[in-house]
């Protein structure tokens, strides 16, 4: 129906333009009507194309708006998320949907920037069919959408949204993040590093030049200084996001001769860095930490002994994941369909969908099997504890998530062609988080060296 | 300090070589056609994609690995032969004699189209093949390990500068191009087929862009978004050197390379600002670039 | 006749959000970009292409965010002050930049705006880095309002401003100062012989165009609720030039027509496909090739030829 309307309008537009060219020189005055027609038509395209969904009859599906990067450099992280969502939704629908209602998703490309994303969010929110937004990947998008979610009262699940600033004011009613945030994610690396290399003296940092890179450097440094005050940061490099070349940075890192090189580069940047640093011996001269290293394990040959992790518990080969038949099935299906095993962004997305599904079920149980409202869904998410593919996602009073953190080192295994993570530690989600309402950086600076003693040791998680 | 100078120098040269490859085609096209091709960066990444695809094919068939060096060159020729005439004939030719705004916008539209086409064709993951880099091995300079491939790149950049100079000064085609650059109408009136020169010059520009992309793939994968970044960088370098000046582009690449390297060593937080700051300073002092000449004002 | 067209166009715009509420946001942003594109178009009159006007757009939006943080909480005051911020930045940059012409003017504007962009992204402690700064909802004439009300107020205010500012710019372009701009384009040296200070003429135009971009930036900042460095990226500047040329640089309505067209096209394209860049790019090429005067050229052909 909508498509027919669109094509009619397009045809009308085109025909009026064509007339214009023909009459171009002859009758300028009478062109005016046609021009107005054309412009009105152009306006109408916008209106029709975008309101057609709203004009549909009574909703018979659970509508989800899913925000991720499907173009631009960040798509390297965003597409696994979209793939996982596609796969999960197909699987949910193949088994009868959520409580008998099929799921339908609308994807929004975050590469449009804040303005386009907000426009899309408003459009999707204007359609009653869409009950939950799974938004978003980038912290900047999440921060821009959060106030909107509260105003429009749409439950919004941050499937990645690492920044610790998102829920800091503790007043959120509709924004949820069933994930860790930058604070536990990067403290985990500091603790793991000091357990594995207690005598480390000098550290160099190379992070991408945007909020995520700077936040991570700040948290990692603060945690290291609190746990081992004599540590020195000998170099801090912030190459531009999307830089293809790290040769100069690698020379700089090599001349600084640090014990440890820490990096939260990701996507193509990380691949380029690894590819250029390996032959130049950086991995041999320093202990390297690649915070998002798991995403490239299957793509670039990482040497043994690099500290890597998954910014959460989302490793598809972790002992918990292997013990869960659902996860094994998901990983195999993902490999069949997309040619690669699911990297942790894919698992994060899958877990976010499971989180939404659980909330939907809970809300329906509570209201007696009716189709839940947005408010009821948000209510069901509050304080929930959901079993995911790789662990549990617990929602705190401030809507922030408690998720375990897995860190380990790369090891070779006969079972796979690519390196896997071994010698792992799995830190409990709440053990690395400040209390609700506490300023995270202030909390980190209060940590004492004894703090790490009580936590699991490398190799304890198997 | 003295033992830090050689690494600094090598880093600067290697970084300048890569920057030069991104910029030289842009400046060449501008000098002949007087068109600033905003889609230049996309052609650079297309060159990279094609080169990586061919090299991957060579590796997968276990052919002689040194063939991949031939493949780098061949892919640039291939991209130039297809995209050069196509784009020049269909879009760029239409903009001759139109205002700069129209030229910039037409090629900007082309840039948007090419970026999406690449994503549809090659996907969003980084695309690479590092066989050429591994073949050449490494070199230890003052305790810092360098890739011989970086030195190969510096050599290639020198080769291109000299080659272009020879082409323009000592071949018939070069003289024709010079004639068209100097006075387009006069060249036309003495019977030079300017249309042919435009196609050739534009294709040469595409070739240089694609060659830059191809030579970059062995060390850095090609991923979405590279085209836009390359474009701004190429633009900054071309502007510093003086639009249309080949030697200017070479010197400007060195300046930007040194600026970036110094920034990374001394004030790492200013790394991203360095090229633009250099451009701003140079242009405020010499608005037509280091080697550019003042064009006559109309009376 | 033209008045009727204009009036009915504004009327359509005013009622559209009633039919589709989410369009209100798109239209507000479109009008905001229209202001900025109008600024670009003013300079285009003098033959100067600025691929850097997003800088003023962003500067004013950041201005709003900083002023709001400093405790100023009134829509009118914030708008006026942030436009002044943009005009001031424009005056400082313009003093250097209006000495240059053609592609060099374009490049210098690009360079300045890219340095500005890099600094916004870089000065993490001040500008919030790439995460940007929030723009809170201000009071409207001393009355605290809720979010939906504020967004409606903002929309209709922008619509009214579009008319008022549009008329003012029209008068400016028809004044001797405005005609001097076209004269710079066609023959700058003759203008100097006539004793007209070209530098001053252009500086005034540059400040006006920066202020217009600033007005757009402030409105966009309020509508979006957040400023990020991407506001100042070169592709954003490119889009402004695009809008100005699409709409036609001849007249004031052109900029707004172009902005509405591009924003609606974008909205429609992203709902259909991932490859929205492809659609935008193709449309752009087609429009430029087949409508060389822009949309507004269609209306004003008669007037233009009589000049």
**Where does the pLDDT of residue A52 fall: very low under 50, low under 70, confident under 90, or very high at 90 and above?**
very low
C272: closest chain A residue by CA:
A49
CB contact under 8 A, C131 and A112: no
CB-CB under 8 Å, A279 with B133: yes
A222 and A247 share a domain? Answer: yes
Number of domains in chain C: 1
More confident residue, A170 or A316: A316
Which residue does chain C place closest to B277, by CA atoms? Answer: C115
Q: Are residues A248 and A373 in the same domain?
A: no
Question: Closest to A210 (Cβ–Cβ): which among C26, C130, C268?
Answer: C130
pLDDT at B173 over 90: no
Q: Give the global pTM.
A: 0.83
Shortest Cα–Cα distance, A283 to chain B (Å): 12
Q: Over pLDDT 90: what percentage of chain B?
A: 24
Predicted pLDDT at C2? 66
The CA–CA distances, whole Å, from A273 to A232, B258, C141, C256 equal 23, 21, 54, 45
CB contact under 8 A, C285 and B91: yes
Closest CA to C39 of C63, C56, C61: C56
Contacts with A235 from chain B: Cβ below 8 Å: 268
- The set of chains that have 3 or more CB pairs under 8 A with A is B, C
Q: Domain for residue C2, yes or no? A: no
> Is-contact A64 A106, C-beta < 8 A?
yes
Domain count, chain A: 3
Print the domain residue range for B182. 23-224
* Structural domain range at position A209: 183-311+405-453
pLDDT score of B49 more than 80: yes
Look up residue A244 and give its DSSP letter.
S
Q: Please name which of B32, C121, C99 lies closest in space to residue A239, comparing C-alpha atoms.
A: C121
Chain B positions touching chain A (beta carbons under 8 Å): 4, 7, 10-11, 14-15, 18, 116, 119, 123-126, 128, 130, 133-134, 138, 143-147, 150, 216, 219-226, 229, 260-261, 264-265, 268-269, 271-272
Confidence of residue B3 (pLDDT cuts 50, 70, 90): low
A54 Cβ under 8 Å from any chain C Cβ: yes
**What is the ipTM, given to two decimal places?**
0.85
Looking at A164-178, A193-207, A344-358, B157-171, which range is the least confident one?
Answer: A164-178
CATH number of domain containing A194? 3.40.50.2300
Most confident range, picked from A342-356, A426-440, B135-149, C41-55: A342-356
Q: Please indicate if any CB of chain A lies within 8 Å of the CB of C292.
A: no
> Looking at the structure, do residues A307 and A187 belong to the same domain, yes or no?
yes
pLDDT of amino acid A347: 93
> How far does chain A reach from its first CA to its final CA, in angstroms?
55
Asked if A287 and A385 sit in the same domain, the reply is: no
Flag whether pLDDT at B293 surpasses 70. Answer: no
> Is A254 in Cβ contact with B145 (below 8 Å)?
yes
Tell me what pLDDT residue A57 has.
40
A158 and A256 share one domain: no
Contact C111 B297 (CB under 8 A): no
Q: Which residues of chain B lie closer than 8 angstroms to A236, CB-CB?
A: 268-269
Q: Are residues A125 and A171 in the same domain?
A: yes
- Give me the domain span that covers residue C163: 22-233
Domain co-membership, A223 together with A301: yes
Q: Is A433 found in the same domain as A390?
A: no
- Together in a domain, A149 and A104: yes
C228: tokens are 């990020």
- Chain A contacts of C20, Cβ < 8 Å? 47, 50-51, 54, 126
Q: How far apart are CA B147 and CA A258, in angstroms?
A: 21
Do the domain assignments include residue B233? no
Is residue A307 a part of any domain in this protein? Answer: yes
Quote the mean pLDDT of chain A: 83
- Residue B89 carries which DSSP code? I
**CA-CA-CA-CA dihedral for A131, A134, A138, A144, to nearest 10:** 10
Structure tokens at A231: 């540590």
Q: What is the pLDDT of residue B214?
A: 92
In this complex, which of C124, C132, C272 lies closest to A214 when CB atoms are compared?
C124
Sort out which chain A residues have CB atoms less than 8 A from C19's CB and list them: 47, 51
pLDDT in tens, A235-292: 899 888 778 888 888 988 888 889 999 999 988 889 889 988 988 889 988 999 999 9
pLDDT, residue C208, reads 93
How many Cβ pairs within 8 Å bridge chains B and C?
A: 111
Chain B residues within 8 Å of chain C (Cβ atoms): 36, 38, 91, 94, 99-102, 104-106, 108-113, 115-117, 119-120, 228, 232, 235-236, 239, 243, 269-270, 272-273, 276-277, 279-280, 283-284, 287-288, 295, 297-299
Shared domain check, A432 and A329: no
Task: State the 10-residue block means of pLDDT for chain C, 307 residues long.
Answer: 74 78 84 92 86 91 91 87 92 86 80 87 80 84 80 89 89 86 81 83 92 93 87 86 77 84 82 77 84 63 38
Answer yes or no: is pLDDT of A28 > 50: no
3-state secondary structure of A370: coil
Of A40, A47, A109, the CB nearest to C23: A47
SS3 A410: strand
Residue B250 domain-assigned (yes or no): no
- pLDDT digit string, tens, across residues B55-99: 888 888 888 888 888 889 999 999 999 999 999 998 888 888 777
In a domain, B245, yes or no: no
> Has residue B151 been placed in a domain?
yes
CA distance B201 to chain C (A): 20
Q: Could you tell me which chains touch chain B, where touching means 3 or more CB pairs under 8 A? A: A, C
The per-residue pLDDT for A342 is 93
Q: How far from A37 is each of A17, A310, B1, B35, C195, CA to CA, in Å?
A: 9, 55, 72, 36, 47
Specify the DSSP class assigned to residue C298: H
Domain membership flag for residue C174? yes
> Is the residue at A459 inside a domain?
no
pLDDT score recorded for residue B294? 55
Domain total in chain B = 1
Question: How high is the pLDDT of residue B178?
Answer: 85
Nearest to A278 by CA among A248, A300, A309, A256: A300
């Amino acid at each position: 129906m909508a498509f027919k309307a669109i094509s009619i309008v397009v045809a009308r537009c085109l025909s009026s333009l064509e007339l214009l060219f023909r009459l171009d020189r002859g009758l300028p005055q009478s062109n005016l009507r046609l021009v107005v027609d054309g412009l009105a038509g152009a306006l109408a395209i916008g209106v029709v194309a975008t309101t057609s969904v709203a004009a549909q009859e009574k909703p018979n599906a659970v509508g989800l708006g899913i925000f991720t990067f499907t173009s631009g450099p960040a798509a390297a992280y965003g597409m696994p998320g979209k793939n996982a969502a596609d796969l999960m939704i197909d699987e949910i629908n193949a088994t009868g949907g959520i409580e008998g209602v099929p799921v339908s998703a609308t994807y929004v490309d975050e590469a449009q920037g804040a303005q386009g994303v907000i426009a899309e969010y408003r459009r999707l929110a204007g359609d009653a069919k869409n009950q939950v937004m799974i938004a978003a990947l980038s912290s900047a998008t999440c921060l821009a959408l959060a106030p909107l979610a509260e105003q429009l009262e749409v439950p919004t699940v941050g499937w990645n949204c690492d920044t610790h600033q998102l829920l800091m004011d503790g007043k959120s009613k509709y924004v949820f993040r069933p994930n860790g945030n930058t604070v536990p994610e990067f403290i985990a690396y500091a603790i793991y590093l000091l357990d594995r290399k207690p005598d480390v003296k000098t550290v160099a940092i190379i992070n991408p030049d945007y909020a995520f890179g700077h936040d991570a450097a700040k948290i990692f440094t603060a945690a290291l200084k609190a746990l081992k005050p004599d540590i020195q940061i000998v170099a801090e490099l912030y190459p531009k996001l999307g830089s293809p070349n790290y040769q100069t940075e690698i020379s700089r890192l090599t001349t600084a001769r640090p014990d440890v090189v820490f990096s939260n580069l990701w996507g193509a940047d990380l691949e380029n860095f690894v590819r250029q640093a390996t032959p130049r011996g950086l991995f041999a001269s320093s202990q390297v930490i690649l915070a998002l290293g798991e995403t490239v394990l299957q793509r670039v040959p990482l040497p043994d002994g690099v500290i890597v992790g998954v910014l959460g518990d989302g490793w598809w080969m972790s002992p918990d994941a292997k013990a869960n038949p659902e996860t094994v099935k998901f990983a195999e299906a993902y490999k069949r369909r997309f040619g690669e095993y699911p990297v942790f962004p894919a698992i994060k997305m899958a877990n976010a969908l499971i989180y939404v599904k659980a909330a939907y079920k809970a809300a329906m149980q509570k209201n007696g099997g009716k189709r839940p409202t947005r408010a009821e869904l948000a209510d069901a998410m509050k304080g929930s504890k959901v079993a995911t593919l790789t662990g549990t996602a617990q929602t705190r009073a401030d809507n922030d998530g408690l998720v375990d953190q897995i860190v380990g080192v790369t090891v070779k295994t006969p079972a796979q062609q690519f390196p896997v993570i071994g010698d792992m530690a799995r830190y409990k989600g709440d053990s690395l988080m400040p209390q609700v309402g506490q300023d995270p950086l202030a909390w980190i600076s209060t940590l004492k060296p004894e703090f790490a003693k009580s936590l699991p040791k490398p190799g304890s998680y198997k | 300090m003295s033992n830090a100078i050689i690494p600094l120098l090598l880093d600067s040269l290697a970084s300048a070589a890569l920057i030069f490859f991104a910029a030289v085609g842009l400046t060449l096209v501008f000098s002949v056609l007087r068109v600033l091709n905003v889609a230049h960066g996309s052609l650079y990444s297309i060159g990279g994609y094609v080169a990586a695809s061919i090299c991957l094919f060579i590796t997968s068939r276990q052919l002689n690995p040194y063939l991949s060096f031939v493949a780098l060159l061949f892919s640039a020729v291939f991209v130039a032969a297809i995209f050069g005439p196509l784009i020049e004939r269909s879009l760029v030719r239409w903009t001759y004699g139109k205002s700069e705004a129209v030229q910039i916008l037409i090629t900007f539209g082309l840039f948007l189209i090419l970026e999406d086409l690449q994503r549809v064709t090659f996907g969003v993951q980084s695309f690479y093949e590092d066989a050429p880099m591994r073949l050449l091995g490494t070199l230890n300079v003052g305790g810092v390990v360098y890739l011989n491939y970086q030195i190969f790149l510096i050599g290639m950049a020198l080769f291109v500068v000299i080659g272009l100079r020879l082409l323009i000064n000592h071949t018939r085609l070069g003289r024709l191009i010079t004639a068209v650059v100097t006075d387009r109408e006069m060249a036309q009136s003495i019977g030079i087929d300017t249309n042919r020169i435009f196609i050739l010059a534009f294709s040469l520009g595409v070739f240089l862009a694609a060659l830059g992309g191809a030579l970059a793939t062995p060390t850095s994968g090609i991923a979405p978004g590279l085209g836009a970044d390359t474009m701004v960088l190429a633009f900054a370098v071309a502007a510093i050197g003086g639009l249309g000046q080949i030697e200017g582009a070479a010197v400007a690449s060195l300046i930007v390379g040194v600026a970036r390297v110094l920034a990374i060593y001394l004030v790492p937080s200013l790394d991203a600002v360095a090229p633009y700051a250099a451009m701003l300073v140079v242009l405020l002092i010499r608005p037509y670039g280091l080697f550019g000449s003042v064009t006559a004002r109309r009376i | 006749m033209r008045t009727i067209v204009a009036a009915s166009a504004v009327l359509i715009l005013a009622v559209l959000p009633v039919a589709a509420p989410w369009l209100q946001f798109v239209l507000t942003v479109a009008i905001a970009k229209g202001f900025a594109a109008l600024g670009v178009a003013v300079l285009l009159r003098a033959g100067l292409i600025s691929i850097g006007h997003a800088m003023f757009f962003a500067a004013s939006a950041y201005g709003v965010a900083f002023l709001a943080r400093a405790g100023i909480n009134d829509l009118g005051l914030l708008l006026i002050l942030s436009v002044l911020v943009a005009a001031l930045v424009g005056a400082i940059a313009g003093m250097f930049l209006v000495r240059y012409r053609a592609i060099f003017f374009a490049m210098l504007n690009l360079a300045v705006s890219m340095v500005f962009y890099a600094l916004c992204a870089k000065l993490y402690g001040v500008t919030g880095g790439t995460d940007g700064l929030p723009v809170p909802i201000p009071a409207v004439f001393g009355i605290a309002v809720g979010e939906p009300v504020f967004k409606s107020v903002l929309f209709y205010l922008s619509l009214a401003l579009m008319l008022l500012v549009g008329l003012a710019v029209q008068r400016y372009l028809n004044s001797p100062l405005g005609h001097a701009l076209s004269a710079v384009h066609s023959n700058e040296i003759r203008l100097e012989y006539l004793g007209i200070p070209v530098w001053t003429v252009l500086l005034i135009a540059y400040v006006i165009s920066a202020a217009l971009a600033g007005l757009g930036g402030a409105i966009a900042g309020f509508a979006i609720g957040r400023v990020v460095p991407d506001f100042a990226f070169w592709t954003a500047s490119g889009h402004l030039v695009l809008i100005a040329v699409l709409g036609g640089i001849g007249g004031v309505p052109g900029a707004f027509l172009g902005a509405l067209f591009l924003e609606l096209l974008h909205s429609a394209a992203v709902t259909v496909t991932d490859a929205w860049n492809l659609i935008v790019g193709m449309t752009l090429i087609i429009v430029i090739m087949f409508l060389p005067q822009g949309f507004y050229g269609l209306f004003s052909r008669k007037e233009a030829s009589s000049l």
